[in-house]
A and B are shown apart, each in its own frame.
Chain A
Amino acid sequence: MNEMVKNTGLFALVALLIVITGVMQSWNTALLILNMGLISAIMALGVNLQWGFAGLFNVGVMGFVALGGLAAVLVSMPPTQGAWAAGGFGVIAGLVMGAVTIVLAVLAYSRMPKGNMRVLVMLVILIGGFFLYRSVFDPAVEAIEAINPASSGNIGGLGLPVLMAWPVGGLLAAGAAWIIGKTALGLRSDYLAIATLGIAEIIIAVLKNEDWLARGVKNVVGLPRPVPLEVDLQRDPEFVERAASFGMDAVTASTIYVKLEYAALFTVVLVILLWMAQKALKSPWGRMMRAIRDNEVAAEAMGKDVTRRHLQIFVLGSAICGIAGAMMTTLDGQLTPGTYQPLRFTFLVWVMVIVGGSGNNFGAVLGGLLIWLLWVQVEPIGLWLMSTLTSGMSDGALKSHLMDSAAHMRLFTMGLILLLVLRFSPRGLIPEK
């Protein structure tokens, strides 16, 4: 019971901090923090599933989050006029040929007897396939990118409701995770960490450079939203009147209303996922996962297929990250591949999981909310701290340097928090039971 009180207290503390932000800064800021905090909590839930339940070290969270973002674009954006006719099928054909090449090469490797002949055949398949793929793929891409490059130049999406992108984001991430897991976990020893680190960079590179897909660094903006537009609300007389009755002006009221709707949506998703994660943890499947984690040899001796279980949980955890990624892009209303950075999207999520408490779902959620809040708020606090510290200094290069540098305090602080928690509360704020 005591534990229950403590945990509730911790969540209440985060709520209080958000309320303080609302009062001290603005409710818009507070809600923004809450919304991204909810998304971060979902990402942390996914990583916790992998690390906390199964001891899998995923340092490619960024890649799965970005795939979710891609899903948001591919599902919700209207299809670009004429893109499919110009090159859409060429692109698909090219990609299929690429995949067939790899499959053929793998087949040749596994079917043919060892020797120089096998190497030769594989090389011929790979090189020939590669050039064939490029000869089909490249013109198709050029054709797509030629269509109205200033505003589209990409294949566009399916024009479906954006909420559908969330599960699709999860599926996309799951697919990528399956391929990574199949290769990296299937190796004689486990090389998952480096594999995820690499794949994440590759996914970002693809998003940045394949303009036909999601416009690359030109960004996709103006994604459809699951909630009304602020300007529409401001034009709605009924809404303006309601806002006035709360004593708010229409502009503030509309932004807050929209954010609240997002918060409601995210909370629903978080609660569902949390409920599922808790169920999974307590199910025979979850018990088996932990049995494998705690004693793999014994679990293997009992006939558990450890690699298969690991693959399962890796795919599930990554899918959750993908869902969170799609939600984040929906919230932002745009996909900006240039902003995906490993520190922010991979390692910060790790800080959330470790600080919150690895192996505990509620810990992960708490960590997600708390660390995100700190991540946002350290910057103004750092600025305030710096201006206080330098208030006695005369204006000069040093002072302006210090003021400029205050923004980088957040990285330092995150590291410090992680190290302090690891040192003094290594199980995290809400330890695993």
Chain B
Amino acid sequence: MSNGNPYQDDRGNKDRSITNPAGQGSQMPRSKSGKVTAAPGGPFLIGEAMTGGYGKGPDILHDCTIAVDRGEIAVIVGPNGAGKSTAMKAVFGMLDVRSGRVLLDGEDITALTPQDRVVKGMGFVPQTSNIFTSMTVEENLEMGAFIRSDDFRDTMAQVYDLFPILKEKRYQAAGELSGGQRQQVAVGRALMTKPKVLMLDEPTAGVSPIVMDELFDRIIEVARTGIPILMVEQNARQALEIADKGYVLVQGRNAFTDTGKALMADPEVRKSFLGG
């Protein structure tokens, strides 16, 4: 540890009486955003030929392309460690993309920070710690709408329509909810900005199969409201079933790209990723 940043060396101190381990931020870049340039044409959201990694670390993505168009659900699948989540984070700006670019709605947003991408209309639901556990469900949704200065009661009503259980538990601390309900809060929070595109990082991780089916139903419902969805999924089979477009990544590279159905039918994809 003594070679790294001296300010990050806490000598393994875990003294709870002087330092608070809870809720600390990760190494998310907090630098200023660069310029946005017009780039008309192409799909609604595309991460094009992205190559990059975390900080000064080695490249994890190699010439990887992910795209989603209006009214579509696009799914990224692949074996463990294939860089699925990394690819999504690259699209969201949480990764240093060394070559390639990210276009959203006719604009090149490669130089934007994640926060500014939210303002531009990207809704992102991280895989873990994706809710404010100590705050009520309603406060979670309010925080989702933090960047909005207009009246967001309509949006909240829509979210409650989409997830009726949340309305029931609106005054309950989000941390007290079940796993599936928490994920609904997380998605609901992201929807509060009225995003132009929704990105979900393994929304069904760690929930039971029944809850998983329900969550997929909800996601389809969200997609029906007209929001394109880009999703990373561990449960490749179910995900591809609902996907309009599927991306199979292997070691940070595009291995197969096709419609969900075609991928399901592709014998090679079936053999290597879907268990026959």
- A373 interface residue, CB < 8 Å from B? no
Say how far B118's CB is from chain A's closest CB, in angstroms.
33
B1-40: CB near A (< 8 Å → 1, else 0) gives: 1100011001111111110000000000000000000000
* Contact assessment for B11 and A192 in the assembled complex, using a CB-CB cutoff below 8 Å: no
* Contact assessment for B11 and A54 in the assembled complex, using a CB-CB cutoff below 8 Å: yes
* Contact assessment for B15 and A296 in the assembled complex, using a CB-CB cutoff below 8 Å: no
Contacts of A358 in B (CB 8 A): 11
* Contact assessment for B18 and A296 in the assembled complex, using a CB-CB cutoff below 8 Å: no
Say how far A354's CB is from chain B's closest CB, in angstroms.
11
Contacts of B18 in A (CB 8 A): 57, 193-194
Contact residues of B: prevailing secondary structure: loop
A76-119: CB near B (< 8 Å → 1, else 0) gives: 00000000000000000000000000000000000000000000
* Contact assessment for A427 and B6 in the assembled complex, using a CB-CB cutoff below 8 Å: yes
Which residue of A55, A194, A359, A432 contacts B13 across the interface (Cβ within 8 Å)?
A: A55
Q: In the complex, A296→B13 CA distance in Å?
A: 10
* Residues in B129-171 with C-beta less than 8 Å from chain A: none
* Contact assessment for A57 and B13 in the assembled complex, using a CB-CB cutoff below 8 Å: yes
* Contact assessment for A432 and B2 in the assembled complex, using a CB-CB cutoff below 8 Å: yes
Contacts of A57 in B (CB 8 A): 13, 15, 18
* Residues in A368-407 with C-beta less than 8 Å from chain B: none
Contacts of B14 in A (CB 8 A): 189-190, 296
Q: In the complex, A426→B18 CA distance in Å?
A: 20
- A275 interface residue, CB < 8 Å from B? no
Which residue of A51, A54, A189, A296 contacts B16 across the interface (Cβ within 8 Å)?
A: A189
Q: In the complex, A189→B11 CA distance in Å?
A: 16
- A71 interface residue, CB < 8 Å from B? no
* Contact assessment for B12 and A359 in the assembled complex, using a CB-CB cutoff below 8 Å: no
* Contact assessment for A194 and B12 in the assembled complex, using a CB-CB cutoff below 8 Å: no
- A294 interface residue, CB < 8 Å from B? yes
Say how far A61's CB is from chain B's closest CB, in angstroms.
15
How big is chain B's contact interface, by range? 10 to 19
Q: In the complex, A431→B1 CA distance in Å?
A: 13
* Contact assessment for B17 and A191 in the assembled complex, using a CB-CB cutoff below 8 Å: yes
Contacts of B2 in A (CB 8 A): 294, 359, 427, 431-433
Which of A54, A55, A191 is the most central at the interface, judged by chain B CB atoms within 10 Å of its CB? A55
Using CB atoms, name the residue of chain A closest to B7.
Answer: A426
* Contact assessment for B1 and A55 in the assembled complex, using a CB-CB cutoff below 8 Å: no
Contacts of A292 in B (CB 8 A): 12
* Contact assessment for B1 and A294 in the assembled complex, using a CB-CB cutoff below 8 Å: yes
- A410 interface residue, CB < 8 Å from B? no
Say how far B1's CB is from chain A's closest CB, in angstroms.
5
Q: In the complex, A432→B4 CA distance in Å?
A: 12
Which of B6, B10, B17 is the most central at the interface, judged by chain A CB atoms within 10 Å of its CB? B17
A329-350: CB near B (< 8 Å → 1, else 0) gives: 0000000000000000000000
Contacts of B15 in A (CB 8 A): 56-57, 190-193
B87-122: CB near A (< 8 Å → 1, else 0) gives: 000000000000000000000000000000000000
Say how far B136's CB is from chain A's closest CB, in angstroms.
27
Q: In the complex, A287→B15 CA distance in Å?
A: 22
Say how far A194's CB is from chain B's closest CB, in angstroms.
4
- A225 interface residue, CB < 8 Å from B? no
- A293 interface residue, CB < 8 Å from B? yes
- A192 touching B17 in the complex, CB below 8 Å, given contacts A426-B6, A427-B6, A432-B2: yes
- A52 interface residue, CB < 8 Å from B? yes
Contacts of B13 in A (CB 8 A): 55-57, 190
* Contact assessment for A190 and B1 in the assembled complex, using a CB-CB cutoff below 8 Å: no
Using CB atoms, name the residue of chain B closest to A425.
Answer: B6
Contacts of B17 in A (CB 8 A): 190-195
Contacts of A54 in B (CB 8 A): 11-12
Q: In the complex, A194→B19 CA distance in Å?
A: 11
* Contact assessment for B11 and A52 in the assembled complex, using a CB-CB cutoff below 8 Å: yes
- A296 touching B12 in the complex, CB below 8 Å, given contacts A192-B17, A359-B2: yes
- A55 touching B6 in the complex, CB below 8 Å, given contacts A194-B17, A294-B1: no
Contacts of A294 in B (CB 8 A): 1-2, 12
Q: In the complex, A52→B16 CA distance in Å?
A: 18
Contacts of B10 in A (CB 8 A): 55
Which of B10, B13, B14 is the most central at the interface, judged by chain A CB atoms within 10 Å of its CB? B13
Say how far B14's CB is from chain A's closest CB, in angstroms.
5
Using CB atoms, name the residue of chain A closest to B10.
Answer: A55
Contacts of A359 in B (CB 8 A): 2, 11
Say how far B149's CB is from chain A's closest CB, in angstroms.
38
- 5 residue pairs from A and B, CB less than 8 Å apart: A190-B15, A194-B17, A195-B17, A294-B1, A431-B2
Name 10 extra pairs, CB < 8 A, besides A55-B11, A426-B6, A427-B2: A56-B15, A57-B13, A57-B18, A189-B14, A190-B13, A190-B15, A193-B15, A292-B12, A293-B11, A359-B2
9 nearest A-B pairs in the assembled complex, by CB-CB distance:
A55-B11, A194-B17, A426-B6, A189-B16, A55-B13, A293-B12, A55-B12, A294-B1, A193-B18
A residues whose Cβ falls under 8 Å from a Cβ of B: 51-52, 54-57, 189-195, 292-296, 358-359, 426-427, 431-433
